């Protein structure tokens, strides 16, 4: 909203609400983007279902969800935080991060820059609820929701080149069973999230 005011952009309508209540909106959309939200819901597929129902036929959706393989290395730290009954306030996050850096909680390598800011570290490690997925689980959910997988958003061409080297038979890079195999070989490729496009059938 601040940036819209700064640049005098007036053709955006800002709303805030519960995803599960969006079915009340009497509108349909050609494009819906939802990054890093669904996997913090109690039942992510239900939120995704509401959003998919808001798409026009053949409408496009950009989704971001956590990778089970990429976040596996964070689970020991998350378990300690929960076991000790800590809350993700600023002091607790900073103290916990300091213990990790000192090696008090074991030897962990944090590759994410989010670790080095308080708000980023909280988002990286200390959510009240999070769900993580494999490529085949993504495939199952999309089939349930009548969505067609179009492809991952890959910001590094080396990943797509490496995938094509391993699986030249998948020309459009949309076979999620092969992505499942690929992620087992390179479990950190989706460290940020699975970010992908799908289309309503």
The string of pLDDT tens digits covering residues 137-188 is 999 999 999 999 999 999 889 999 999 999 999 999 999 999 999 999 999 8
- Judge whether 101 lies within some domain: yes
Asked if 22 and 36 sit in the same domain, the reply is yes
Q: Over range 99-120, report the average pLDDT.
A: 79
pLDDT for 16 beyond 70:
yes
pLDDT at 183: 96
Q: Is residue 4 part of a domain?
A: no
Instruction: State the pLDDT at residue 155.
Output: 86
pLDDT above 70 as % of the chain: 97
Closest CA to 81 of 127, 133, 120, 41: 127
Q: Cβ of 124: how many Cβ atoms within 10 Å? A: 21
Residue 161 per-residue DSSP state: H
Same domain, 115 and 188: no
| Mean pLDDT estimate for the chain | 92
What is residue 121's predicted lDDT score, i.e. its pLDDT? 85
Instruction: Answer with the one of 91, 106, 125 that is the final residue of a domain.
Output: 125
Alpha helix ranges (H) inside 66-175: 75-83, 90-102, 118-125, 135-144, 157-166
| Contact (CB, 8 A) for 31 and 61 | yes
CA angle in degrees (0–180, nearest 5) for 4-30-8 = 15
Mean pLDDT value across residues 109-122? 81
Enter the pTM of the model. 0.86
Interval 34-76: pLDDT, tens:
998 999 999 999 999 999 999 999 999 999 999 999 888 888 8
CB atoms within 10 A of CB 152: 21
Task: Please check whether residue 5 lies inside any domain of the structure.
Answer: no
Residue 82 has pLDDT above 90, yes or no: no
pLDDT score of 109 more than 80: no
Domain annotation covers residue 60 = yes
Residue 53 resides in a domain: yes
- Helices assigned H by DSSP within the chain: 2-6, 44-53, 75-83, 90-102, 118-125, 135-144, 157-166, 176-185
Percent of the chain with pLDDT over 90: 66
**Backbone φ and ψ of 123, nearest 5°:** -70, -35
Q: What pLDDT, on a 0 to 100 scale, did the predictor assign at position 128?
A: 80
Residues 149 and 54 in one domain: yes
Higher pLDDT, 31 or 105: 31
| Domain containing residue 184 | 13-69+130-200
The CATH number of the domain holding residue 182 is 3.40.50.150
pLDDT at 59: 97
Residue 199's region, left for phi above 0, alpha for psi from -120 to 50, else beta, is: beta
Q: Are residues 77 and 59 in the same domain?
A: no
CA quadruple 176, 178, 183, 184: dihedral sign? positive
Number of domains comprising the chain = 2
| Whether residue 136 is found in the same domain as residue 117 | no
Distance between the two ends of the chain, CA-based, in angstroms?
33
Pairing label, strands 147-152, 29-35:
unpaired
Strand partners, 31: 60
**Same domain, yes or no: 120 and 140:** no
Handedness of CA 183, 189, 194, 196 (dihedral sign): negative
Residue 107 reports pLDDT greater than 80? no
Q: For residue 35, what are the β-bridge partners?
A: 64
Which of 125, 146, 162 lies at the terminal end of a domain, its last residue?
125
- Mean pLDDT in residue range 78-82: 85
At residue 76, the pLDDT reads 83
Q: Are residues 89 and 39 in the same domain?
A: no
Same domain for 113 and 23?
no
11: DSSP letter = S
Residue 185 is predicted with a pLDDT of 96
């Amino acid at each position: 909203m601040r940036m819209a005011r700064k640049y005098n952009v007036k053709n955006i309508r800002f709303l805030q609400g519960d995803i599960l209540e969006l079915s009340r909106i009497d509108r349909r959309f050609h494009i819906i983007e939802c990054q890093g939200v669904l996997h913090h819901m109690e039942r992510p597929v239900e939120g995704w279902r509401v959003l998919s129902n808001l798409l026009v036929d053949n409408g496009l959706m950009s989704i971001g969800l956590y990778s089970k393989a990429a976040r596996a290395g964070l689970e020991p730290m998350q378990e300690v935080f929960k076991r000790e009954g800590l809350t993700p306030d600023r002091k607790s996050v900073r103290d916990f991060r300091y213990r990790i850096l000192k090696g008090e909680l074991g030897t962990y390598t944090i590759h994410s820059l989010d670790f080095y800011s308080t708000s980023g570290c909280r988002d990286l490690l200390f959510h009240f609820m999070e769900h993580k997925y494999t490529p085949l689980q993504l495939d199952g959910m999309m089939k349930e929701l009548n969505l067609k997988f179009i492809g991952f958003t890959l910001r590094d061409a080396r990943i797509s080149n490496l995938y094509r080297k391993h699986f030249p038979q998948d020309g459009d890079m949309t076979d999620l069973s092969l992505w499942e195999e690929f992620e087992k070989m390179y479990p950190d490729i989706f460290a940020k999230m699975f970010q992908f496009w799908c289309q309503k059938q």
